[in-house]
A and B are shown apart, each in its own frame.
Chain A
Protein backbone atom coordinates (compact mmCIF):
# COMPACT_ATOMS: atom_id res chain seq x y z
CA UNK A 1 0.00 0.00 0.00
CA UNK A 2 1.34 3.43 -0.94
CA UNK A 3 0.15 6.88 0.08
CA UNK A 4 -0.63 9.37 -2.69
CA UNK A 5 -0.93 13.12 -2.11
CA UNK A 6 -3.61 14.59 -4.31
CA UNK A 7 -3.20 18.20 -5.47
CA UNK A 8 -6.03 20.70 -5.11
CA UNK A 9 -7.07 20.55 -8.80
CA UNK A 10 -7.68 16.79 -8.59
CA UNK A 11 -9.49 16.75 -5.26
CA UNK A 12 -12.97 17.08 -6.80
CA UNK A 13 -12.28 13.60 -8.22
CA UNK A 14 -11.27 12.15 -4.84
CA UNK A 15 -14.24 13.54 -2.95
CA UNK A 16 -12.04 16.27 -1.48
CA UNK A 17 -9.45 13.90 -0.02
CA UNK A 18 -5.91 15.24 -0.09
CA UNK A 19 -4.37 11.86 0.57
CA UNK A 20 -5.47 8.50 -0.73
CA UNK A 21 -4.02 5.00 -0.74
CA UNK A 22 -3.32 2.67 -3.61
CA UNK A 23 -2.08 -0.87 -4.00
CA UNK A 24 0.49 -0.75 -6.75
CA UNK A 25 3.85 -2.17 -7.75
CA UNK A 26 4.86 0.78 -9.92
CA UNK A 27 3.71 4.27 -10.91
CA UNK A 28 1.76 2.96 -13.90
CA UNK A 29 -0.26 0.53 -11.78
CA UNK A 30 -0.72 3.25 -9.14
CA UNK A 31 -2.36 5.46 -11.76
CA UNK A 32 -4.61 2.58 -12.83
CA UNK A 33 -5.49 1.83 -9.20
CA UNK A 34 -6.34 5.48 -8.56
CA UNK A 35 -8.43 5.62 -11.74
CA UNK A 36 -10.35 2.54 -10.56
CA UNK A 37 -11.13 4.27 -7.27
CA UNK A 38 -11.61 7.74 -8.77
CA UNK A 39 -12.73 7.50 -12.39
CA UNK A 40 -11.36 10.24 -14.61
CA UNK A 41 -8.18 10.75 -12.64
CA UNK A 42 -6.01 9.04 -15.26
CA UNK A 43 -7.19 11.43 -17.97
CA UNK A 44 -6.02 14.34 -15.88
CA UNK A 45 -2.59 12.84 -15.25
CA UNK A 46 -1.91 11.10 -18.58
CA UNK A 47 -2.33 12.11 -22.20
CA UNK A 48 -4.30 10.08 -24.77
CA UNK A 49 -1.25 7.86 -25.35
CA UNK A 50 -1.10 7.00 -21.67
CA UNK A 51 2.06 9.00 -21.08
CA UNK A 52 2.28 11.23 -18.01
CA UNK A 53 1.53 14.78 -19.09
CA UNK A 54 4.53 17.04 -19.16
CA UNK A 55 2.87 19.57 -16.90
CA UNK A 56 2.18 16.94 -14.25
CA UNK A 57 5.07 16.17 -11.92
CA UNK A 58 5.06 13.00 -9.87
CA UNK A 59 7.41 12.61 -6.93
CA UNK A 60 8.28 9.33 -5.24
CA UNK A 61 9.22 10.28 -1.70
CA UNK A 62 11.55 13.20 -2.54
CA UNK A 63 12.52 12.37 -6.11
CA UNK A 64 10.96 13.37 -9.43
CA UNK A 65 10.09 10.09 -11.19
CA UNK A 66 11.52 11.52 -14.43
CA UNK A 67 14.91 11.03 -12.79
CA UNK A 68 13.98 7.50 -11.72
CA UNK A 69 12.26 5.16 -14.18
CA UNK A 70 9.29 7.30 -15.13
CA UNK A 71 5.99 5.45 -15.01
CA UNK A 72 7.91 2.14 -14.60
CA UNK A 73 9.41 3.33 -11.32
CA UNK A 74 8.83 0.49 -8.82
CA UNK A 75 6.94 1.15 -5.59
CA UNK A 76 7.08 -0.57 -2.24
CA UNK A 77 4.82 -0.55 0.80
CA UNK A 78 4.93 2.74 2.66
CA UNK A 79 6.13 4.84 -0.26
CA UNK A 80 4.76 8.36 -0.48
CA UNK A 81 3.86 9.75 -3.88
CA UNK A 82 2.99 13.37 -4.63
CA UNK A 83 1.22 14.54 -7.78
CA UNK A 84 2.09 18.19 -8.46
CA UNK A 85 0.64 19.91 -11.55
CA UNK A 86 2.72 22.78 -12.89
CA UNK A 87 1.76 26.38 -12.32
CA UNK A 88 2.47 28.29 -15.51
CA UNK A 89 1.16 31.14 -17.61
CA UNK A 90 2.07 34.06 -19.80
CA UNK A 91 1.70 37.76 -20.36
CA UNK A 92 -0.03 39.56 -23.22
CA UNK A 93 2.52 39.31 -26.05
CA UNK A 94 0.52 41.51 -28.41
CA UNK A 95 0.60 44.27 -25.82
CA UNK A 96 4.32 43.93 -25.27
CA UNK A 97 6.17 47.13 -26.05
CA UNK A 98 8.88 46.93 -28.69
Chain B
Protein backbone atom coordinates (compact mmCIF):
# COMPACT_ATOMS: atom_id res chain seq x y z
CA UNK B 1 0.00 0.00 0.00
CA UNK B 2 1.51 3.31 -1.05
CA UNK B 3 1.12 6.60 0.80
CA UNK B 4 1.28 8.67 -2.38
CA UNK B 5 1.02 8.20 -6.13
CA UNK B 6 2.93 10.56 -8.41
CA UNK B 7 2.56 10.50 -12.20
CA UNK B 8 5.91 9.58 -13.80
CA UNK B 9 5.65 12.64 -16.04
CA UNK B 10 5.48 14.95 -13.02
CA UNK B 11 8.43 13.18 -11.35
CA UNK B 12 10.42 13.53 -14.59
CA UNK B 13 9.58 17.23 -14.71
CA UNK B 14 10.73 17.67 -11.09
CA UNK B 15 14.06 15.96 -11.81
CA UNK B 16 14.57 18.03 -14.96
CA UNK B 17 13.85 21.15 -12.93
CA UNK B 18 16.38 20.09 -10.27
CA UNK B 19 19.02 19.53 -12.94
CA UNK B 20 18.29 22.86 -14.59
CA UNK B 21 18.50 24.72 -11.26
CA UNK B 22 21.74 23.03 -10.12
CA UNK B 23 23.95 24.06 -8.41
CA UNK B 24 21.04 25.93 -6.80
CA UNK B 25 18.15 24.14 -5.13
CA UNK B 26 14.78 24.04 -6.87
CA UNK B 27 11.45 23.79 -5.06
CA UNK B 28 7.76 23.31 -5.71
CA UNK B 29 4.42 21.91 -4.64
CA UNK B 30 2.37 18.87 -5.63
CA UNK B 31 -1.39 18.80 -5.30
CA UNK B 32 -4.23 16.43 -5.97
CA UNK B 33 -6.93 14.47 -4.20
CA UNK B 34 -6.51 11.76 -1.57
CA UNK B 35 -3.19 10.07 -2.31
CA UNK B 36 -3.12 10.89 -6.01
CA UNK B 37 -0.95 13.77 -7.20
CA UNK B 38 -2.44 15.41 -10.27
CA UNK B 39 -0.83 18.86 -10.38
CA UNK B 40 2.71 20.17 -10.17
CA UNK B 41 3.53 23.78 -9.28
CA UNK B 42 7.06 24.99 -9.87
CA UNK B 43 7.92 27.68 -7.29
CA UNK B 44 10.83 30.14 -7.45
CA UNK B 45 13.57 29.68 -4.81
CA UNK B 46 14.00 33.13 -3.25
CA UNK B 47 16.20 32.20 -0.28
CA UNK B 48 18.76 34.75 -1.44
CA UNK B 49 16.26 37.55 -0.84
CA UNK B 50 15.11 36.29 2.55
CA UNK B 51 18.16 36.84 4.75
CA UNK B 52 16.20 38.31 7.67
CA UNK B 53 13.51 35.66 7.65
CA UNK B 54 16.15 32.98 7.32
CA UNK B 55 17.69 34.22 10.56
CA UNK B 56 14.41 33.58 12.36
CA UNK B 57 13.82 30.18 10.87
CA UNK B 58 17.20 28.53 10.55
CA UNK B 59 19.32 27.21 13.37
CA UNK B 60 22.24 29.24 14.71
CA UNK B 61 24.97 27.18 13.13
CA UNK B 62 23.32 27.38 9.77
CA UNK B 63 22.82 31.14 10.03
CA UNK B 64 26.53 31.66 10.50
CA UNK B 65 27.11 29.44 7.54
CA UNK B 66 24.53 31.21 5.37
CA UNK B 67 25.77 34.68 6.27
CA UNK B 68 29.23 33.74 5.08
CA UNK B 69 27.88 33.00 1.64
CA UNK B 70 26.88 35.18 -1.28
CA UNK B 71 23.14 35.26 -2.13
CA UNK B 72 23.77 32.89 -5.05
CA UNK B 73 25.70 30.48 -2.87
CA UNK B 74 22.87 30.46 -0.31
CA UNK B 75 20.54 29.08 -2.95
CA UNK B 76 22.96 26.16 -3.36
CA UNK B 77 22.24 24.92 0.14
CA UNK B 78 18.81 26.24 0.98
CA UNK B 79 15.45 27.12 -0.45
CA UNK B 80 12.60 29.44 0.39
CA UNK B 81 9.52 29.20 -1.78
CA UNK B 82 8.50 32.48 -3.36
CA UNK B 83 5.52 33.80 -1.39
CA UNK B 84 3.71 35.12 -4.45
CA UNK B 85 4.15 31.86 -6.39
CA UNK B 86 2.88 29.91 -3.37
CA UNK B 87 -0.15 32.14 -3.01
CA UNK B 88 -0.95 31.79 -6.72
CA UNK B 89 -0.51 28.00 -6.55
CA UNK B 90 -2.82 27.72 -3.55
CA UNK B 91 -5.39 29.90 -5.24
CA UNK B 92 -5.29 27.60 -8.26
CA UNK B 93 -5.69 24.58 -5.94
CA UNK B 94 -8.84 26.11 -4.45
CA UNK B 95 -10.17 26.83 -7.94
CA UNK B 96 -9.55 23.22 -9.01
CA UNK B 97 -10.80 21.81 -5.70
CA UNK B 98 -7.55 19.98 -5.01
CA UNK B 99 -5.35 19.90 -1.91
CA UNK B 100 -1.67 20.50 -1.29
CA UNK B 101 -0.27 16.96 -0.84
CA UNK B 102 3.50 17.45 -0.93
CA UNK B 103 6.37 19.90 -1.16
CA UNK B 104 9.53 19.08 -3.05
CA UNK B 105 13.02 20.51 -3.23
CA UNK B 106 16.38 19.41 -4.51
CA UNK B 107 19.68 18.67 -2.80
CA UNK B 108 22.19 19.25 -5.62
CA UNK B 109 25.14 17.68 -3.83
CA UNK B 110 23.73 16.01 -0.72
CA UNK B 111 21.58 12.96 0.00
CA UNK B 112 17.84 12.51 -0.45
CA UNK B 113 16.95 12.89 3.20
CA UNK B 114 15.90 15.91 5.27
CA UNK B 115 18.72 18.12 6.54
CA UNK B 116 18.55 19.53 10.09
CA UNK B 117 17.21 22.75 8.57
CA UNK B 118 14.55 20.87 6.63
CA UNK B 119 13.45 19.12 9.81
CA UNK B 120 13.10 22.44 11.59
CA UNK B 121 11.59 24.52 8.81
CA UNK B 122 9.33 21.92 7.18
CA UNK B 123 7.87 21.10 10.61
CA UNK B 124 5.45 23.92 9.81
CA UNK B 125 3.82 21.45 7.42
CA UNK B 126 3.40 18.17 9.32
CA UNK B 127 0.35 17.09 7.32
CA UNK B 128 1.94 16.95 3.89
CA UNK B 129 4.75 14.87 2.43
CA UNK B 130 8.14 16.29 1.55
CA UNK B 131 9.99 14.92 -1.47
CA UNK B 132 13.74 15.49 -1.73
CA UNK B 133 15.44 15.09 -5.10
CA UNK B 134 19.13 14.30 -4.66
CA UNK B 135 21.51 14.86 -7.55
CA UNK B 136 24.48 13.68 -5.49
CA UNK B 137 24.90 10.54 -7.59
CA UNK B 138 24.70 10.33 -11.36
CA UNK B 139 21.25 8.74 -11.07
CA UNK B 140 18.83 11.06 -9.21
CA UNK B 141 17.33 9.71 -5.98
CA UNK B 142 13.89 10.91 -4.88
CA UNK B 143 12.62 9.93 -1.46
CA UNK B 144 9.49 11.16 0.28
CA UNK B 145 9.11 11.89 3.98
CA UNK B 146 6.72 13.05 6.62
CA UNK B 147 8.19 15.39 9.24
CA UNK B 148 6.29 15.67 12.52
CA UNK B 149 7.70 17.29 15.67
CA UNK B 150 11.27 16.66 14.62
CA UNK B 151 10.65 13.04 13.69
CA UNK B 152 11.28 12.05 10.09
CA UNK B 153 9.45 9.07 8.60
CA UNK B 154 10.21 7.86 5.11
CA UNK B 155 7.02 7.12 3.23
CA UNK B 156 6.42 4.94 0.22
CA UNK B 157 5.20 6.35 -3.05
CA UNK B 158 4.63 4.92 -6.47
CA UNK B 159 4.82 6.41 -9.92
CA UNK B 160 2.26 5.69 -12.60
Contact = CB atoms under 8 A, between A and B. Distances in A.
Per DSSP, chain A at the interface is mixed
Contacts of B122: 87-89
Mostly, the B contact residues are mixed
Interface string B81-122: 101101100100000000010010101111100111110011
Interface in A70-98: 82, 84-93, 95-97
B57 interface: yes
Given A59-B87, A86-B57, A93 B77 contact: yes
B125 A90 contact: no
Interface residues of A, number: 24
Q: How large is the interface on B (under 10, 10 to 19, 20 to 34, 35 or more residues)?
A: 35 or more
A92 B115 CA distance: 5
Contact of A8 (B27, B52, B76, B128): B128
B110 A54 contact: no
A51 B92 CA distance: 29
B15 interface: no
A15 interface: no
B127 A8 contact: yes
A92 B107 contact: yes
A90 B53 contact: no
Nearest to B83: A57
Contacts of B62: 90, 93
Given A88-B50, A93-B62, A95-B110, 15 more contacts: A55-B56, A55-B57, A59-B87, A82-B87, A86-B124, A87-B103, A87-B125, A88-B54, A89-B114, A89-B122, A89-B130, A90-B77, A90-B121, A91-B77, A96-B110
12 contacts: A57-B87, A64-B83, A64-B84, A84-B86, A87-B121, A88-B54, A89-B121, A90-B58, A91-B78, A91-B110, A91-B117, A93-B62
